[in-house]
Structure 1
Amino acid sequence: MIQIQFAARSLRWAEYEAPLRAALDAHGLDYRMENYTQDASLPPESVDYIVYAPNSHLQDFTAYTRCKAVLNLWAGVEGITGNRTLTQPLARMVDHGLTQGMVEWVVGHAMRLHLGMDIHLNGQDGIWRRHVPPLAEDRPVTILGLGALGTACGTALAQLGFPVRGWSRSPKDVPGITCLSGPDGLAQALAGAGIVVLLLPLTDATENTLNAATLQHLAPGAFVLNPGRGPLIDDTALLAALDAGGVAQATLDVFREEPLPPDHPYWAHPNVTVTPHIASETRASSAAKVIAENIRRGEAGEPFLHLVNRDAGY
C-alpha cells in the first residue's frame, strides 16, 4: 500500500482531501493518505510521498528515509529549496488551473492598462475624456520569465496583436515570441517596452531584476505588472519611477511582505493597483490530478513531472 503524507495548513486538507482521493482512485492506486499535524502523522519511515506546501509545520525531512518524492502544491519553491534536510526529488506544481488563472489575470490587466480603462472607470464626473489608445501592435510587451506561466501569458498577448519579447536566464524558443536570454539579453528585452510582466522564479540571481537601472530601458510611461514574486522588483526604485512619470502605472499582486502592511506606500500611490496575491491560485480540482499522476509515475518507475533543479533554484 502506498503511504501518502499530506502536509499543509489545516484548511488545505479540507479543500484537497476529496479531490486527491478521487484523482488517486481514478488511477486505481492502493493507498493510505493522512493529514500531517504537529500532534499526529504517518510514521515518517513508512511514507512514500509527501504532498506539500512550504508553509507546512513539516520542515525536517530527515526521518522520511523511504520517501520517493515531495510533491509541492505551489508553483513557487523558493521557500523549500534551501532546506538541507530535503534530499528527496522535489516536484513543483504546474497545472492547467494555475496557468489559465495567470493568463486571465495578466491579459485582463494588460488590456485594462493598454486601453486606459481606469480613466473612464474613475472619471464618471461629467467630463468628456476622449482617450484613444494605440493599437496593440504599437505597444511592445516584455515577459520576464519564459517558464510555463510566462510562455502561456506571452502567447496569449501575442495572439491579441502585441509584439512580445520574452527574457529568460537560459535560451528558449517560443513561437510568436522574440526570445532573449542572459545578462545582455535583459536590456534588449526591456528596451522600449510599453508593458512589462514579471513571471520569473525567485532566486538570488533574479531578486531586484527590475531596479533603478533596468527601469531606465522601458518606454516612457510604461506599465508594470507583477504577478510573479514580490522581491523581483526593487520597491524603492519602482516608486521613484512612478513619481517621476517614467512608469505610468504598476499593478502588483505579490509583495515582499504579505499581507501588504496598511502603511505601505503602494496602498496610497495613485498610480499603483494592489491585488491580494490572487493572480493565480492553486485549484484543488486540477492540482490533485497533477499530484496523482506523479504518484502513478513514481509507482510505475516513470520519470516524475516538473522536477526542480536544486542548483538553479526552480
Structure 2
Amino acid sequence: MINVLFSAPEGRWAQYERPLTEALDDAGVAANLSTHHSPEDVDYVVYAPNGGLSDFTRFTRTKAVLSLWAGVESIVGNETLTMPLARMVDDGLTEGMVEWVTGHVLRHHLNIDLHLHGQDGVWRDWVPPLARDRKVGVLGLGALGSACAQALAALNFDVTGWSRTGKAVDGIACHHGPSGLDTVLARSEIVVLLLPRTPQTENILDAAAIARLPQGAVVVNPGRGALIDDDALLAALDASHLAHATLDVFRTEPLPKDHPFWAHPKVTVTPHIASETRPASAARVIAENIRRGEAGKPLLHLVDRDAGY
C-alpha cells in the first residue's frame, strides 16, 4: 500500500477525493489517499502550488510530485523540490482550451460584438471575410497550442504557429526563433498566446512586438499574464493600433478591481477560465503516472527544470 498526499487549497479535496479514489482503483493501484500523511511516509504528492506546501525537505521517500496545474513557473525553481515533477496535461484541459480559443477567435473574426452592442436601430450590413482569408497566429506549440492551431485550421483559418525551438504540427506552417516570431507577428490579424511563462517568454509581446502586428489586430491571451507588457498593450489599444484584447490570465489574480483592464472598452477580461483542470480527467492522469511510477516506467509530462516547463 502506497501513501498519496493530496495537497491543494481547502475545498479541492471534496472535488477530487472520489475521482482520484476511483481512478487509482481502475489503474490497479492500492493507495492510501489522504490530506494528512506525515511527510516522511509519503510516496507521491498530488499537488496544487497554491495549497500551502512549499518545503519538501522532509519528503525523503517521495518518488514524484504530480501537479494539478499545467503551469509550473511558481514551483519549478523550488530548491527543496528535488524529486521528479510532472505537470498536468490531460484531455479535459486541452478540450477546454480549444473551446475557449476557438470561441473567442470566431467572436473577433465575425465581429460579433458589433451586433451585440449595436442594438440601436442602425442596420449594420458589415460582412466578415471567410475564415480562409483571416490570418491567425498561435504563439506556443505545446500540447495546448498545437491542439488550438489545428482546431482553427480545421475551421479553415489561415494559421501559422511559432515556438522558441523548432516543432512540426500537422497542417500548420511552423516557425521558430526570433526571425520566425517576426514572420508570424507581421501577418497575424488575430494572435493567440499559449506559451509557458519562462525568463525567455516574459514580455514576449512588448511594445516592439506589438508594433509588428498589423493595424487593427486582436490579441487573445489564455496562456500566462506575464507574456504581455500591460502598459504597452494599453498604449497600443489607446492608439488604435490594436482593435481589442481578450485576456484570461494576468500578472496578479484575481485581477485587482482598480486595474485599467476592467474599464477599458477594448479589453475583455475572463477570470482564468479558459482551461480549468477537471477532476475526473485530471484524476486519470495522476493515477496513470502513479501506476507507471510503481511499475518502474517513465512518468508522463515530466518537467524539464532547465527549460522551466
TM-score scaled by length of structure 1? 0.97
Structure 1: which 5+ residue stretches go unaligned? 36-40
Q: Aligned partners of 2:133 and 2:239: how far apart in 1?
A: 23
Q: Aligned partners of 2:249 and 2:50: how far apart in 1?
A: 16
1:238 Cα deviation after fit:
0.6
Equivalent position amino acid for 1:10 in 2: E
1:167-246 superposed matches below 5 A? 167-246=162-241
Q: Aligned partners of 1:56 and 1:10: how far apart in 2?
A: 8
1:151 Cα deviation after fit:
0.3
After superposition, what is the alpha-carbon deviation per residue over 1:256-310, rounded to whole angstroms, capped at 9, x for unaligned? 1111111111111111111011101000010000000000000011110000000
4+ residue segments displaced more than 4 Å: none
Q: Give the aligned partner of residue 158 of structure 1.
A: 153
Q: Give the aligned partner of residue 25 of structure 1.
A: 25
Q: Give the aligned partner of residue 304 of structure 2.
A: 309
After superposition, what is the alpha-carbon deviation per residue over 1:74-105, rounded to whole angstroms, capped at 9, x for unaligned? 00000100100000000000000000000000
Checking the alignment, whether the CA contact within 8 Å between 2:140 and 2:163 is kept in structure 1 is yes
Q: Aligned partners of 2:268 and 2:29: how far apart in 1?
A: 46
Checking the alignment, whether the CA contact within 8 Å between 2:28 and 2:291 is kept in structure 1 is no
After superposition, what is the alpha-carbon deviation per residue over 1:205-243, rounded to whole angstroms, capped at 9, x for unaligned? 100010110011111101110001001000000111111
1:10-89 superposed matches below 5 A? 10-35=10-35, 41-89=36-84
Q: Secondary structure at the match of 2:198?
A: coil
Q: Give the aligned partner of residue 130 of structure 1.
A: 125
Q: Aligned partners of 1:124 and 1:104: how far apart in 2?
A: 27
Q: Aligned partners of 1:78 and 1:243: how far apart in 2?
A: 31
1:129-148 superposed matches below 5 A? 129-148=124-143
1:179 Cα deviation after fit:
0.7
TM-score scaled by length of structure 2? 0.99
Equivalent of 1:294, from 289, 294, 302?
A: 289
| RMSD between superposed Cα atoms in Å | 0.7
1:174 Cα deviation after fit:
0.4
Checking the alignment, whether the CA contact within 8 Å between 1:142 and 1:195 is kept in structure 2 is yes
Q: Aligned partners of 1:71 and 1:210: how far apart in 2?
A: 31
1:14 Cα deviation after fit:
0.7
Q: Aligned partners of 1:117 and 1:44: how far apart in 2?
A: 53
Q: Aligned partners of 1:183 and 1:17: how far apart in 2?
A: 45
1:184 Cα deviation after fit:
2.0
1:57 Cα deviation after fit:
1.2
1:125 Cα deviation after fit:
1.0
Q: Secondary structure at the match of 1:298?
A: helix
